[in-house]
Amino acid sequence: MTLDLLPTRASGAAENMAVDFLLLQRYPDETRARFRHYEWRGPAATFGFGQKIAYVRAQLAALAGDERLDLCRRPTGGGVVDHRDDWTYALVIPRGHALYDARATESYRLIHAALTTALRAQGLPVVLKERCDPACETTAPTVCFVRPELYDVLHETTGAKVAGAAQKRNKHGLLFQGSIARSVLGTIDWDAFEETFTAGLAATLSAEAAVSPWPDFNEDELTALIEQYASPEWLEYR
């Protein structure tokens, strides 16, 4: 298997979510996984597919005050993620790989284990959260980085949440959307981190990492999906 390492691009929230979804839907080669780190054109936030928009807006009011954020509902689950100072990535694992068939907690653990190793290689005191608090199984998703979940990445000294993620599994594969809180970590060599992280992911997937060009998406389909993700109907789906 090959792990395709795609170029870094900066886009608006709707386009970033549309591209992640198309990487899952329109990249059908079962011998290739795909990874991308991406950035945001301006202040942005995303929230899980199943969350109610009224609840999200209340959380964002407390989080960002009057600052206007480019907001989009993700195709994955999870809580509200503030992307104003994070390192964002997506990983797609094709159907047929062992992690596609694994339990969600197992894929979460293995991917975050690779992330933890890469951050520790930068000298950062981070650990996996390996015990679940009772509230984890009874409380609805909230603002990401407020309450750590099982196998999130934590700062070993302060206990602050460093990294979280959300997943979507369908007949095409597994989409993993992750976020690292840069503000919790301070200054590090992010290029070196990415190199170590992707090498760790490749080892986890029993794959060979290879720098790959941007996918040749159908532009009409991409444009339509961006418009869908930017629409009030999608934003206020629930």
Q: What are the phi and psi torsion angles at 7 (to 5°)? A: -65, 150
Name the packing angle between helices 219-230 and 13-25 (round to 10°).
130
Q: State both tokens at 46.
A: 């995303």
DSSP state for residue 97 in the 8-state scheme: S
What sign has the CA pseudo-torsion 3, 44, 48, 79? positive
Centre a 10 Å sphere on the Cβ of residue 60 and count the other Cβ atoms it contains.
Answer: 18
Rounded Cα distance, 168 and 77, in Å: 7
Name the region of 192 (left: φ>0; alpha: ψ -120 to 50; beta: rest): alpha
Cβ-Cβ contacts under 8 Å for 3 (sequence gap 6 or more): 32, 33, 34, 35, 198, 201, 202, 205, 207, 208, 209, 210
Fold topology of 2-235: BirA Bifunctional Protein; domain 2 (3.30.930)
Residue 2 in 3-state DSSP? Answer: strand
Q: Say if pTM beats, i.e. exceeds, 0.85.
A: yes
pLDDT in tens for each of the 238 residues of the chain? 999 999 999 999 999 999 999 999 998 788 999 999 999 999 999 999 999 999 999 999 988 888 899 999 999 999 999 999 999 999 999 999 999 999 999 999 999 999 999 999 999 999 999 876 655 444 455 554 456 789 999 999 999 999 999 999 999 999 999 999 998 998 899 999 999 999 999 999 999 999 999 999 999 999 999 999 999 999 998 7
Rounded Cα distance, 78 and 81, in Å: 9
What sign has the CA pseudo-torsion 170, 198, 188, 152? positive
Which among 88, 85, 64, 84 has a CA at the least distance from the CA of 74? 88
What pLDDT score was predicted for residue 237? 84
Q: How many helices (H) and strands (E) does the chain have?
A: 8, 12
Cβ-Cβ contacts under 8 Å for 17 (sequence gap 6 or more): 46, 72, 73, 74, 75, 229
Q: State both tokens at 26.
A: 């329109």
